[in-house]
Amino acid sequence: MEVGIIGAGPRGILVTSQLFNQYKYNSDQSAPLSITLFDPYGIGGRVWRADQWEGLIMNTPADQITLFTDESVNMTGKVFDGPCLFEWAPSDDAHDYLTSHGYSEAMINAARHLGSKDYAPRVLYGAYIRWFYDELLKLKPDEITVTLQEDQVTALTPQPGGGAKLATHDQTFKFDKVVMSLGQQDNYLSKSEQSFAQYAEDNHLRYLAPTHPGDADLSDIPAGEDILIRGLGLSFNDYISELTLGRGGQFMHNPDGSLSYQPSGREPRIIAGSGRGIPYYPKAISEKGYGEQVKPVFLTDANMDAASINGKLPYAKFIKLLTLDMALVYYSLVINDRYPSKSATAFKKQFIAADDPEMVVKSFGFEEEDHFDWDYILDPFKDVKVVSTQDYQSIILSWLDNVTTDAKMGSKTGPLGSALELLRDFRTQIREMVAKERLSNADYINKFLGQFDSDNNFLSIGAPALRSEQLSALIRSGLVIIMAPGMQVKGRDGWFVAASPKRNTDQFRSSTLLEARLPKPNLTISANPVLEDLVNNGNARPRILQADQQEVQLPSVDVDPKTDQLRNKAGNVEQDLYIWGLSLDGLRYITAASPRPGVNDPALQTADKIAANVLGVPSATNIQMN
């Protein structure tokens, strides 16, 4: 059998690993197996490549990153156990690999001193992927051949008699099966982005459209110039790190434990904003052990069943159950931290058993500032209607320092950070809710995808607390200014001009505008040539849902949800083509997360399932597909 795998990032390598595993232990090995990997960036893929600034860090603690399987994973393949990223980094194997492959002394030193709860450089994770792949090849049976083609796949066509033809820029290949494991992709620019790009060209300005920060060339941004950044999420943190630390600046610890910033003199001044006008909440410092996750008390199958109407869970009920779990954790830790005369154990028992949990909260007499207020958490400044940019810096600093202090207490100790941590712990339950189609199509499209995805990113997919500390220091230094909520950018008089007109009359102009956001996976606007080819030739289509008597296209590629086999324009399954991961965003929940050990990780489950199906051997049931 000949198998093509498009994408040699973590998912492509996981499928390769599980093909080895299934072939060795579950197939009759009567015919040889040939695997060809395609990725223009080589093993590790685009996001984790070695030739990017080494200061870009991951967004998950090092002890929660793995490519190996373990006993927790629901699969039919044999467990292929090994070190997680944290265990590997300080090892002799890692040192020898990094040294022999020409990694910098700084990266070798970072690996040697990587702590379990540290956030590793992205370059280091790329090295871990390549080391894993090399170790995998050492265990390869003689009957398996593996080839890497560092080429971009431009076309993929299923063949009438079975299999598929694949083309790169200058070669064609035929395979029995093809697995698409695509990672971060580019999209065609929206109308407004095209307009900005054209305006920049016409007026000799700089415009950086949404892209991965590791790909962005910021070298021509001069020191001392005001620049505009739109977006306050993960990419924003990457860009300000590149434009400060990456230009020789340093953070120093003050006697009170806070940070201050010592500029190099090569930084620009950054004026940044977004619709919310608030940076993402920082991630709490991890206190989790191996495989440790909080289990829901309220967001359970039984409670969701009971709250459903005509078989569908109203979105408001989903939020109510979710926030009850969050409030339970929050108040229990608030009691431990601030109310020594009260019993957290008694509170938990009463809160869980109560018909009206809010009455329990009132009976415990919490101070107003200690109340869990979901609306306030989502919009901390909803009551701030008019505020100058200068005054807003004090407001944002106070909020930022408070949430960072809580995050530094830890993911099992800080009340707010621990409550927000549930949004990560409950991914399994939310994925199952999505897979079981518990929400009505209208609620799923308009409220879950239209609202909850954004809220979840804001609350739980922020940068490590360290980055929030650094941002606070940069604001205090005057090198970063955060605009009030409602940032708008226009091209005017040969400049990019930014304002928050609903909050103040301040305006900022610049010759540089950076869009600090990643392109979202979306089949209808994807600039990935293989996806374009599949759509143009009727071999793929977006997922379509019926809502309010209308057909609505999701951003996801349409697949058989049980197998991840591609559906063509007519809705028929292409038996020999598989696609998974980020391309299914919208059909699946949180597709970009890295595999985690000890938690029956869905990416590890899916890789095993696809590999078994490709080889035609028994696959596991009750898989949570990713």
Taking only the tens place, the pLDDT of each residue in 234-276 is 999 999 999 999 999 999 999 998 999 999 999 999 999 999 9
User: What is the rounded CA–CA span in Å between residue 96 and residue 99?
Assistant: 5
Please, are residues 525 and 189 in contact by the beta-carbon 8 Å criterion? no
Tokens of 255: 């006697």
Q: What is the pLDDT of residue 257?
A: 87
CATH architecture of the domain covering 2-81+133-186+521-615: 3-Layer(bba) Sandwich (3.50)
* Domain segments of the chain as ranges: 2-81+133-186+521-615, 191-280+464-515, 301-460
Which residue, chain included where needed, has tokens 């001193």?
A: 113
Please, are residues 230 and 510 in contact by the beta-carbon 8 Å criterion? no
Q: Cα-flanking dihedrals φ and ψ of residue 128, to 5°?
A: -60, -40
Q: What is the pLDDT of residue 214?
A: 93
> Could you write out the three-class secondary structure of 418-465?
HHHHHHHHCHHHHHHHHHCCCCCHHHHHHHHHHHHHHHHHHHHCCCEH
Which class is 191-280+464-515 in CATH? alpha beta
pLDDT digits (tens, 9 = 90+) for 16-49: 999 999 999 999 999 999 999 999 999 999 999 9
* Under-50 pLDDT residues of the chain: none
Q: How far is CA 165 from CA 11, 170, 453, 540, 626, in A?
A: 22, 14, 36, 15, 26
Q: What is the pLDDT of residue 549?
A: 87
* Identical fold, 2-81+133-186+521-615 and 191-280+464-515: yes
Alpha-carbon dihedral angle through residues 104, 106, 109, 114, given to the nearest 10 degrees: -110
Please, are residues 272 and 232 in contact by the beta-carbon 8 Å criterion? yes
Q: What is the pLDDT of residue 548?
A: 87
Please, are residues 465 and 337 in contact by the beta-carbon 8 Å criterion? no
User: To the nearest whole number, what is the mean pLDDT of the chain?
Assistant: 97
> Could you write out the three-class secondary structure of 583-625?
HHECCECCCCCCCCCCCCCHHHHHHHHHHHHHHCCCCCCCCCC
For residue 479, the 8-state DSSP code is S
